[in-house]
Amino acid sequence: MNNKQIVAILNQLADLMELSGENAFKVQAYRRAARTVENSRTPIVEMSDELEKLSGIGKGTASVIREIIETGRLAQLDELRQQLPPELPDLLALPGIGPKTIYTLYKKLHITNMVELKQAAKQEKIRSLAGFGPKKEQKILEAIEQFSNRPKRAHLHVAMAVASAIRKRLEGIAEIEKIELAGSIRRYKETIKDIDFVVATDHPVKVAEQIANLPEVIQIVGQGETKVSIVVDVEGMVMGVDVRLVTSDQFGSALSHFTGSKEFNILIRQRAKQYGWKVSEYGIYDPDTDQTMTFKDEADFFAQLELPFIPPELREDRGEIEKAELGALPALIQLRDYRGDLHAHTLYSDGSHSIKDMALAAKAKGYEYIAITDHSQSLKVASGLTVDEVYEQWAEIDQLNQEGLGITILKGAEVDILADGTLDYPDELLKQMDLVIASVHTQFKQDEETMTRRIIKAMENPYVNIIAHPTGRLLLRRDSYEVNVDQLFKAAQETGTFLELNAHPHRLDLNDQLLKKAKEEYGLKFTINTDAHSAEGYDYIIYGIATARRGWLEKKDVINTYTLDQLRTVLAKN
């Protein structure tokens, strides 16, 4: 258990205690303990025997924390879940509605779920409660509406987790000969609506029946010999899944067809038409012979159309057919090309693990180097480091590098770009760093001209190497701030600043289209980083690599593929 996981369980306990009407002092004791754990720069698991020495942790809360460390769960929390109405904790997801409010509604109006809450608000029953009134009642209705209108799409990593679980189930069906993901998830689109599989089998009816009876299935939308549509629930992640059933001989053309995109399939049909053929998911029909040519794999399908295999990430009608015809498709970057992550956080700011743990986790991935880039001092919400704390951190990094962990730890920081474009640390400190990442974390509502100038001013600082998550978006939650990307790209070109593709699946920023534009029109090079706040966060690199491939990036376009010596050279921009 890392610190963040312990904090999450403690806060869950405090929430459910409030929903149960528990004594406020007890609730605050757990919230106070959670803050202490969150602010600790040492893994709490290493302090299990000394918890009571920490400010904010008493004998009772220490006992609870030890149980979490030893078992990974908490019996008291499980008991509370069983005692409360099962849907009552779901109301905590409503924006701006806290556990105290929910407890009052539960006790006074016997509200236990979202439907009952909406009904009570519409019937104006809530306003009569002490401390509520018409305004709060309206606020509750607005929160329900906002929650109901949340995006019906899933982040890529969530969809991949669901797809992985369902694929394992499909692999256990003896009559299935071949399985492959299709649709937008195979093309690694940044958000996913439904998951598609193509399955080869000679027993479609039997296979369809087994798919419909998978334990994760909560709804059967349709079931036939060629397609099964289901809704699944994998550990609380609910998504639609379509499974296409074809023969082994049809698998190649079916996989291409159901991978898409729609625009790419139109181009494929147009190309087939030039030969007098018709394309479908079942193959290529030749009216001259009245025969349908079938293909066991995609490479053969493309070859029949006199095309090389086109990677799924490129199938978006962005010039890939023309490049394929010329034999000029890019040699897309691959995960094995990646040598090190240049954006990672530790317990010094808002990360979950120590510097050593983060370094060893990177080494376990085969990385040659890693940069520690904790937040700068003005970002209080992320426990940003003061100048003195930066020097303290550097001393630890020096010690670890001298120990010889088998990986090089670079000294860096993610420095806030303040509202006027100045940086959160003085140049005297920045110039001593191996690399400096600058990023926007506040004042997102600035107009385009102000925001653009703000970021460019940071680029013009001779010690800034990287601009992190350059457009500031959070997928399914927050749009990009207003910024002129062409001016950013031009400034990056002129100053030798690298723009980041932030691989965290909530960001994927820069996106694929901006990457392609920046590469082709401005000749820029990039860095791909996970922005890892834990050792597990490094795993998100697969989404960064996939997005880079969608942006037509090659190994040579990404500085994380450089050797350490090459990297040091390009980081010394001035």
Final residue before a domain boundary, out of 212, 246, 280: 246
Is 262 part of a structural domain of the chain? Answer: no
Place of tokens 């965290």: 504
Residues 408 and 539 in one domain: yes
Is 29 part of a structural domain of the chain? Answer: yes
Rounded Cα distance between 467 and 495, Å, is 12
Residues 139 and 200 in one domain: no
pTM, full prediction: 0.86
Is 65 part of a structural domain of the chain? Answer: yes
Residues 409 and 551 in one domain: yes
CATH classification of the domain holding 40: 1.10.150.110
Residues 224 and 287 in one domain: no
Residues 124 and 208 in one domain: no
Is 532 part of a structural domain of the chain? Answer: yes
Q: How many residues does the chain have?
A: 574
Helix ranges restricted to H, 305-437: 320-325, 355-364, 387-403, 427-430
pLDDT value at position 574? Answer: 52
Is 455 part of a structural domain of the chain? Answer: yes
Residues 553 and 509 in one domain: yes
pLDDT value at position 372? Answer: 98
Residues 303 and 206 in one domain: no
Is 350 part of a structural domain of the chain? Answer: yes
Rounded Cα distance between 4 and 534, Å, is 9
Q: Is 50 left (phi over 0), alpha (psi -120 to 50) or beta?
A: alpha
CATH classification of the domain holding 308: 3.30.210.10
Residues 214 and 297 in one domain: no
Final residue before a domain boundary, out of 148, 174, 194: 148
Final residue before a domain boundary, out of 246, 275, 308: 246
For 68, the domain range is: 3-148
Residues 86 and 108 in one domain: yes
Helix ranges restricted to H, 40-124: 59-71, 75-83, 99-109, 114-122
pLDDT value at position 573? Answer: 66
Residues 304 and 163 in one domain: no
Strand partners, 65: none
Rounded Cα distance between 216 and 220, Å, is 11
CATH classification of the domain holding 224: 3.30.460.10
Rounded Cα distance between 539 and 295, Å, is 35
Rounded Cα distance between 206 and 223, Å, is 11
Per-residue pLDDT of the chain (574 residues; tens, 9 = 90+): 788 889 889 999 999 999 998 888 999 999 999 989 988 888 899 988 999 999 899 999 999 999 999 998 899 998 998 999 988 988 988 888 889 999 999 999 999 999 999 999 999 999 999 889 999 999 999 999 888 877 789 999 999 999 999 999 999 999 999 999 999 999 999 999 999 999 999 999 999 999 999 999 988 999 999 999 999 999 889 999 999 999 999 999 999 999 999 999 999 999 999 999 999 999 999 999 999 999 999 999 999 999 999 999 999 999 999 999 999 999 999 999 999 999 999 999 999 999 999 999 999 999 999 999 999 999 888 889 999 999 999 999 999 999 999 999 999 999 999 999 999 999 999 999 999 999 999 999 999 999 999 999 999 999 999 999 999 999 998 899 999 999 999 999 999 999 999 999 999 999 999 999 999 999 999 999 999 999 999 999 999 999 999 999 999 999 999 999 999 999 986 5
Q: Are strands 227-234 and 217-223 parallel, antiparallel or unpaired?
A: antiparallel
pLDDT value at position 34? Answer: 92
Rounded Cα distance between 135 and 551, Å, is 48
Is 372 part of a structural domain of the chain? Answer: yes
CATH classification of the domain holding 488: 3.20.20.140
Nearest to 39 by CA among 53, 23, 52, 56: 56
CA 460 remoteness from chain centre: 30
Residues 527 and 484 in one domain: yes
Give the number of domains in the chain: 4
Is 489 part of a structural domain of the chain? Answer: yes
For residue 261, cis peptide bond before it (omega within 30 degrees of 0)? yes
* Distance, first Cα to last Cα, the chain: 42
Residues 346 and 290 in one domain: no
A 10 A CB-CB count for 444 gives 14
